[in-house]
Structure 1
Amino acid sequence: MQIHPFAQDPMTYPLCPTIFVGDDITERWAALRPDLFRVPTGLARGISGQTMHDMALRIRSEIAASDAKGLHLLCGFNEFARGEASIAAIVNQIAAILTAARDLYVVAFVGAIPPAGRRWQPGAEHIAVTVNAWLRDHARDTGGRYIDYYGTLLGEGGHLRAEYAAPDGGLSPAGYAAIEPVMRNALTAPGLEPIHAPAETDEEASRRKFLRHFGHLDSNTRLPRPFIQFAGKPGSSHYGVPFDAHGFLNATAVTHEKPAGETRVFVVGDSTIIDGGDLISTLPGRMERVLRAEGLPGAKVFNFGVMSSCLTQMAHLVWSHLLEYRPDAIVVVSGCTDQFQPWTYDPRPGHPYNAFIVERLYDHFFDTHAPRARENGLSYDGLVTLIYEERARLRAEADWQTEAWEEAVVHHYQRAMHRLTKLSSDHGVAIVAALQPVVMRKRHLAEPEREVASGEFLAYLDRQYVRLEAFYADLAARRPFRRTFTAVDLGSIFRDREAATFTDIVHYDDAGREIVARRLAAEVSAALARARRRGFRGRAHQALTRIGLGRRGVAQA
């Protein structure tokens, strides 16, 4: 009996979180079955086109970034499709990945290389069978548990069963439906227990936490870019949703040619803007639906969210890139990222979170007074040490965690906001600046929301939000450049919501996104209405001026 690909219930992982590392097959799996990969319990990290070698390079940072307790590895298809397969190379790469997982106290599951759904290089099928046999017999030697996807998908002639093959040679929905229960059985087998790391010193704990954060330096979501520090990598994806040619999460990249009747709204922010699982579920996608339903059928909302970006980056993005595309309104959602990034990453107020890493690496390799740095190169462990020590030095230099440092962090945020107000006036574009919601302002915390961060860290964020709330209240009262700029405090928008909302300090669920989207859509509608009134008055004044009846002329008449 064929299993419908959406017939199963959402997945619960005993080893939580479990990270799924792989290539095209894993990436498409996440797009087809998002309930299997719900953050933070199941994390899909399939990247289209990657080989085992690519995965081996990123496995430690992936595990560190996710704090994974379980790893599901499914790889090998691209090697065979490209004719790059050899038994020794494949076995060594998989063994290296499984060993890295074991060293990081992660329980690993390795899926068999699937049968070919398209023509492979001569002999490749035999190599795949040999590698799978090795995995079955020896995966446990390097800490892995074997999952037989090959036998599940195998059809006549040693190839992928026809109904399991997609037109491009990957898996069809029926193919994913076939392997899903096999995966479920393996990852929920009785007796599964996380591997507990031995006791560690304070210094070791600090380094481990740093390594976990260090793993967020993912070039797929934070590729260096001029002016704005980083954005997504074109062609890569965020949980299965691809970035456009400019590195943003849009179905098609914005064009200079603005279609007649289109009302362009740009949404700028951090990872909360690109989360949602698919484009229509993101905050911009929901805003577009609301705006069109409530009187703006030509509304087109573009997503310019950038993972981990601070307000200084956002202001530069607006100035250096977005204004030339003639937006009717720009929404900027910020606040929390600017406060928590200096606590963990670059401690210098106003700096993007990875600025110190870029500086230190450049200085390491290009200091002409220390040529041995180039000669010695840099191993992964050496890189971690280099960056870890630089962060410690900068923390001392910046008076990290002092009251003066906290005030400076907010001050730099305020400076960036004032740049935005000026941009709105100088370019005559409506900008709605919103202070993003945060878990500390929710009165009724569900059980998972009580464990999102340490008490010390939450107390710091609470102090910073008191300062930000006062700043937004002042902006709303003074209304600088009131005809073009609007300040909205959404920090407490979930204050009285009793249902669980936040998955961490700043990311919220689908229901929360709908609430925020409707509020922001209302603010955009109001800003556009003010812009239309301003435009009518401006055109009327210009017409009167041309005939000699400007304001002074009218008064005299």
Structure 2
Amino acid sequence: MKKVKYFLSISFIFFLLTPSYAQDWPNLKRYQEENAALEILNPNEHRIVFMGNSITEGWLNIRPEFFENKPYVNRGISGQTTPQMLLRFRQDVINLTPSAVVILAGINDIAENTGPSTIEMIVNNIVSMAELAKANNIKVILCSILPAYDFPWKTGLEPAGKVVKLNAQLKAYATQNSVIYVDYFTPMVNTSNGLKKELGSDGIHPNVSGYLIMEPLVEEGISKALIQN
């Protein structure tokens, strides 16, 4: 058994060091074909890109009807951190010429998916995405991170307090820079600063009930963003 575990560990490290992974760390290939296939919108239509991680990606899988017959483009990639999203932001957001972008990011940074990150590092990456969008006349809808008491894939990191601090800084940035802020945290948090049990099975990812709370909140945010001067 020890030999098997050793082999698997060495194999995983080898995979991470292979040129194909190293050259596409932000997973730029993931949406290249879908991006190229996007239709040109009518003048009165407003494309909205959802940029995020597994919570965004899972939204399309669990609640596809939310995206049907709307100019909503889902560009979530499971497991991604904010530096990865920042690297693919031009390809997967700016080049799609949306009217607005919904940014939901940061929880995987707290989980250290791509290495240790400070709150400042996470905020800087998210702010960089927001500023890139604004520089290209794209409205920004900045979302709070969902509550998280612990990570099932990496226990003991105590993310609850970090989520609260990160959300406070994101809200402050939004207020100071006239950016729409969508608060998912407040209606989804339990008394331990974790995700309410009925809203997700693993304490991190929403189920149908969770997404049903998020949908009207983000649509309100999108509406507000589109009428901003």
Query: TM-score, normalising length from structure 2?
Result: 0.71
Deviation readout 1:116-136 (Å, 9 max, x if unpaired): 153454453222111111111
Q: Alpha-carbon deviation of 1:142?
A: 4.8
Unaligned runs of 5+ in 2: 1-43
Deviation readout 1:490-530 (Å, 9 max, x if unpaired): xxxxxxxxxxxxxxxxxxxxxxxxxxxxxxxxxxxxxxxxx
1:153-552 equivalences under 5 Å are 153-167=188-202, 169-189=204-224, 192-193=226-227
Q: Alpha-carbon deviation of 1:194?
A: 6.9
Query: 1:32 — aligned with what?
Result: 62
Residue pair 1:87, 1:127 contacting (<8 A) in 2 also = yes
Query: 1:93 — aligned with what?
Result: 125
Query: 1:113 — aligned with what?
Result: 145
Task: Mark the CA change 1:90 to 1:15 in structure 2 (over 3 Å): closer, same or farther.
Answer: farther
Cα distance in 2 for partners of 1:167, 1:184 equals: 25
**Structure 1 residue 146 and structure 2 residue 181: aligned?**
yes
Q: Alpha-carbon deviation of 1:156?
A: 1.4
Deviation readout 1:460-480 (Å, 9 max, x if unpaired): xxxxxxxxxxxxxxxxxxxxx
Deviation readout 1:350-387 (Å, 9 max, x if unpaired): xxxxxxxxxxxxxxxxxxxxxxxxxxxxxxxxxxxxxx
Task: Mark the CA change 1:158 to 1:168 in structure 2 (over 3 Å): closer, same or farther.
Answer: closer
Cα distance in 2 for partners of 1:52, 1:173 equals: 25
1:130-145 equivalences under 5 Å are 130-142=165-177, 144-145=179-180
SS in 1 for 2:131: helix
Q: Alpha-carbon deviation of 1:38?
A: 3.9
- 1:65 pairs, out of 72, 87, 95, with 95
Cα distance in 2 for partners of 1:39, 1:57 equals: 29
Deviation readout 1:252-287 (Å, 9 max, x if unpaired): xxxxxxxxxxxxxxxxxxxxxxxxxxxxxxxxxxxx
Task: Mark the CA change 1:174 to 1:99 in structure 2 (over 3 Å): closer, same or farther.
Answer: same
- 1:103 pairs, out of 135, 141, 150, with 135
Q: Alpha-carbon deviation of 1:157?
A: 1.2
Task: Mark the CA change 1:91 to 1:98 in structure 2 (over 3 Å): closer, same or farther.
Answer: same
Matched length: 181
Residue pair 1:117, 1:165 contacting (<8 A) in 2 also = no
Cα distance in 1 for partners of 2:178, 2:135 equals: 9
Q: Alpha-carbon deviation of 1:96?
A: 0.4
Question: Which structure: larger Rg?
Answer: 1
Query: 2:52 — aligned with what?
Result: 22
- The structure, 1 or 2, with the larger RCO (C-alpha pairs under 8 Å, 6+ apart) is 2
Residue pair 2:100, 2:226 contacting (<8 A) in 1 also = no
SS in 1 for 2:89: helix
2:184 maps to a residue whose letter is: Y
Task: Mark the CA change 1:49 to 1:59 in structure 2 (over 3 Å): closer, same or farther.
Answer: same
Residue pair 1:115, 1:150 contacting (<8 A) in 2 also = yes
SS in 2 for 1:43: strand
Cα distance in 1 for partners of 2:117, 2:201 equals: 22
Q: Alpha-carbon deviation of 1:36?
A: 2.6
Q: Alpha-carbon deviation of 1:66?
A: 1.6
Query: 2:76 — aligned with what?
Result: 46
Residue pair 1:21, 1:45 contacting (<8 A) in 2 also = yes
Q: Alpha-carbon deviation of 1:17?
A: 0.1
Task: Mark the CA change 1:92 to 1:121 in structure 2 (over 3 Å): closer, same or farther.
Answer: farther
1:124 maps to a residue whose letter is: P
SS in 1 for 2:192: helix
Q: Alpha-carbon deviation of 1:176?
A: 1.0
Task: Mark the CA change 1:126 to 1:85 in structure 2 (over 3 Å): closer, same or farther.
Answer: farther
Task: Mark the CA change 1:169 to 1:140 in structure 2 (over 3 Å): closer, same or farther.
Answer: closer
Task: Mark the CA change 1:62 to 1:39 in structure 2 (over 3 Å): closer, same or farther.
Answer: farther
Unaligned runs of 5+ in 1: 1-13, 196-557
Query: 1:80 — aligned with what?
Result: 110
Cα distance in 2 for partners of 1:80, 1:74 equals: 13
Cα distance in 2 for partners of 1:104, 1:125 equals: 34
Query: 2:7 — aligned with what?
Result: none
Cα distance in 2 for partners of 1:143, 1:129 equals: 21
Cα distance in 1 for partners of 2:67, 2:82 equals: 21
Query: 2:37 — aligned with what?
Result: none
Q: Alpha-carbon deviation of 1:15?
A: 7.0
Cα distance in 2 for partners of 1:124, 1:117 equals: 6
